[in-house]
């Protein structure tokens, strides 16, 4: 399975303090909106999302259809196909994509330790 671009989505207490901290580690802002309390930051191919007040725990994120620069890929595994494979392997999903539709959709599930995994297709 090809899951797409990888990032970690961090639930932060203070978006400004977190932005400064990650800038000190060499990250720069790649997207987002400070006024809406979310930023996407990059350091080479490493991507982190900073989200203040949007969710409780950190989330492992994959974006089918995108490379690490949010450039649409010519071909990719649709999130619905990934969903079918996960379900066939007995992995329970917290949220599912509507398999009757095409385009953007997402699924959410957890690993055995309770870490949330989001597969979020934007194309």
Total domain count for the chain? 1
Helix, strand, or coil (residue 80):
helix
From first to last of its 123 residues, the chain has per-residue pLDDT tens of 999 999 999 999 999 999 999 999 999 999 999 999 999 999 999 999 999 999 999 999 999 999 999 999 999 999 999 999 999 999 999 999 999 999 999 999 999 999 999 999 999
Provide the residue range defining the domain that includes 64.
5-121
Give 49's contacts (C-beta < 8 A, 6+ positions apart).
7, 8, 9, 10, 32, 38, 39, 40, 41, 61
Residue where the block lists tokens 């009757």: 100
Q: What is the CATH number of the domain that holds 107?
A: 3.10.180.10
């Amino acid at each position: 399975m090809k899951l797409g671009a990888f990032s970690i989505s961090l639930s932060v207490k203070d978006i400004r303090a977190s932005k400064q901290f990650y800038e000190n580690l060499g990250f720069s802002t790649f997207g987002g909106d400070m006024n809406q309390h979310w930023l996407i930051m990059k350091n080479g191919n490493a991507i982190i999302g900073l989200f203040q007040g949007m969710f409780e725990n950190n989330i492992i994120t994959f974006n089918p259809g995108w490379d690490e620069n949010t450039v649409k890929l010519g071909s990719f595994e649709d999130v619905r196909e990934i969903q079918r494979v996960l379900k066939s392997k007995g992995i329970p999903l917290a949220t599912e994509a509507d398999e009757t539709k095409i385009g953007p959709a997402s699924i959410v599930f957890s690993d055995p330790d309770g870490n949330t995994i989001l597969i979020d297709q934007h194309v």
